[in-house]
Structure 1
Amino acid sequence: MSGDGTTADDDPLQTAVWRLRSRACWADAAALLEPAGPDAALQRASLLVERCLYTEAGWEEAEDALRTAEALAHSDDERGAAACERGYLAYAATLFRVRDRADEARAALGRAAALIAPGAAGRALLDFRRGLIAENLTRSPQAARAAYRRAHAGATAHADPLLLSATWRHLAGLALRDGELTEARRGFAESLRIREELGYLVGTAPALVSLADTETEPEASRLREEARRLFRLLGGVPTWLAHHLTPPPPGPATA
């Protein structure tokens, strides 16, 4: 969940990759990147790992791309970034019960922490992913909150708005769990605002649903209907959002 969208001054290749990625076309975006060097190989692997998180599919292709990125990595930063992706893929496989790789996820992120210097741009993404493991695998909301806050500060310092939208969303989710409705609503609204400004369509439907959970009617229904529209537009992605978008059964008939 990292990246900052594009501007008119960006590399045309990166602009094309971003537009495809934001519209759930990860394979097409990855096909534009020839893994001739470590940066392109890592970006390609990152796209295919992200596809696994949104579609619960493409695991073998992501593994192959990640092995290529690991083989081409030479510097500590490159090896650390590859280890961070390895941990994220193992986390996803565990989360979706493809295979229990929780130990691998923790070990890979531990390697990344040893390689990525404190204060480096990649550290914020690493902190965010450690927060995901703490929240969803270890079930430790306090540790997750601390990791998300470090990631939030890092994303702000390094001007990574897409990662910032993710930290806003996950901090808001913890706030909602604790009954802090006002704080949760603010965080979800900020996450949605950033994703809409970036044009990150594939991440907008989940943000709409999260914000709807903090709103009253009729605003909650309006947000969920907009999420359904985007979900259908993108061909049912992210797959895990489907059960959040199922309309409630009709109430009992009245006279």
Structure 2
Amino acid sequence: MSDSGTTAENGDPLQTAVWRLRSRGCWTDAAALLEPHGAEPAAALQRAALLTERCLYTGDGWAEAEEALRGAEAVAGDDEERGAAACERGQLAYASTLLGVRDRADEARSALGRAAALIAPAARSRALLDFRRGLLAENVADAPQAARAAYRRAHAGATAHGDTLLLSFTWRHLAGLALRDGELAEARHGFAESLRIREELGYLVGTAPALAALADAEPEPEAARLRTEAARLFRLLGGVPTWLASHLTPSPAAT
């Protein structure tokens, strides 16, 4: 998703309210605010994206996300809107595959490929598409080089369009690949930038994962401190994201 509502610059009370709920992991409540605007392509897509994000963070709500996505696809009126809906379908299929709910990797590839054919190269939404193609390359195809290239395109696009929240994701995933290659200084910098952005935006539901990621690149005792803070936020949010729990255990060197 874009960073709609993360600042007060546009003065849109609806987007501000949606962001406040989303940033605290209240995706269902945020989506409910958009439901009366379901005939508007942008609102329908944003609602589908919120419910897809809930699936990725909680492993639940697949039927609701699918229904919202079909609604967004139905009201899309031009190539940009149809491409954005295809990008969201690719993300839902990717989340299902990643979390082991159902293998929908082929559907994810097809949907993201369709989005690439519909979304103009210079469009704002292209950066999000590139990022999601990177996720698929890294976590499904196990193709880190292709993933790095996609993340770099997404990073450049997010920078050009001022999509600060997306930058927090590209920083984090580029740092993850750097860590995988043993480039600790680069990894620490990327993870720290991701964490800084999320804290500045108040993206609470994404702060614990950012803390845990930075901990993986830091020596003890700093790593233990970061994981302790991540665990505190994780508990505060009721165990969301669910997949984070396994990353919060202390390393053998710290025990």
Q: Structures share a fold, TM > 0.5? A: yes
Pairwise CA distance, 1:8: 5.8
CA contact (8 A) 2:224 2:254 kept: no
Pairwise CA distance, 1:7: 1.7
CA contact (8 A) 2:224 2:250 kept: no
Distance 1:196 1:137, change over 3 A: same
Q: CA separation in 2, counterparts of 1:100 and 1:211?
A: 30
Find the partner of 1:239 among 213, 225, 242.
242
Distance 1:81 1:9, change over 3 A: closer
Distance 1:251 1:138, change over 3 A: closer
Alignment of 1:92-171 (within 5 A): 92-171=95-174
Q: Which runs of 5+ in 2 are unaligned?
A: none
SS in structure 1 at match of 2:121? coil
Greater Cα shift, 210-219 or 186-195: 210-219
Look up the equivalent residue of 1:15 and give its one-letter code: T
Find the partner of 2:191 among 166, 183, 188.
188
Aligned residue number for residue 3 of structure 2: 3
Aligned residue number for residue 32 of structure 2: 31
Q: CA separation in 1, counterparts of 2:216 and 2:139?
A: 19
Q: CA separation in 2, counterparts of 1:50 and 1:9?
A: 23
Q: CA separation in 2, counterparts of 1:250 and 1:127?
A: 37
Aligned residue number for residue 17 of structure 1: 18
With normalisation by structure 2, the TM-score equals 0.96
Query: Percent identity among equivalent residues?
Result: 79
Distance 1:103 1:9, change over 3 A: closer
Pairwise CA distance, 1:9: 4.8
Look up the equivalent residue of 2:185 and give its one-letter code: T
Look up the equivalent residue of 2:105 and give its one-letter code: A
Pairwise CA distance, 1:220: 1.1
Matched, 1:63 2:52: no
* Alpha-carbon displacement from aligned partner over 1:195-218 (angstroms, at most 9, x marks no partner): 000000000000000101111222
User: Which runs of 4 or more aligned residues in structure 1 lie more than 6 Å from their structure 2 counterparts after TM superposition?
Assistant: 249-252
Q: CA separation in 2, counterparts of 1:204 and 1:2?
A: 17
SS in structure 1 at match of 2:188? helix
Q: CA separation in 2, counterparts of 1:146 and 1:95?
A: 21
* Alpha-carbon displacement from aligned partner over 1:10-32 (angstroms, at most 9, x marks no partner): 20110000000000000000000
Q: CA separation in 2, counterparts of 1:217 and 1:233?
A: 24
Pairwise CA distance, 1:77: 0.6
CA contact (8 A) 2:227 2:250 kept: no
Distance 1:251 1:192, change over 3 A: closer
> Pairwise CA RMSD of aligned residues?
1.5
Question: How many residues were matched structurally?
Answer: 252
Q: CA separation in 2, counterparts of 1:190 and 1:55?
A: 25
SS in structure 2 at match of 1:176? helix
Q: CA separation in 1, counterparts of 2:124 and 2:100?
A: 31
With normalisation by structure 1, the TM-score equals 0.96
Q: CA separation in 1, counterparts of 2:218 and 2:39?
A: 48
Aligned residue number for residue 43 of structure 1: 46
Higher Rg: 1
Q: CA separation in 2, counterparts of 1:196 and 1:250?
A: 28
SS in structure 2 at match of 1:7? coil
Structure with more contact order per residue of length (Cα contacts < 8 Å, sep ≥ 6): 1
Q: Which runs of 5+ in 1 are unaligned?
A: none
* Alpha-carbon displacement from aligned partner over 1:11-70 (angstroms, at most 9, x marks no partner): 011000000000000000000002121111001000000111100110000000000000
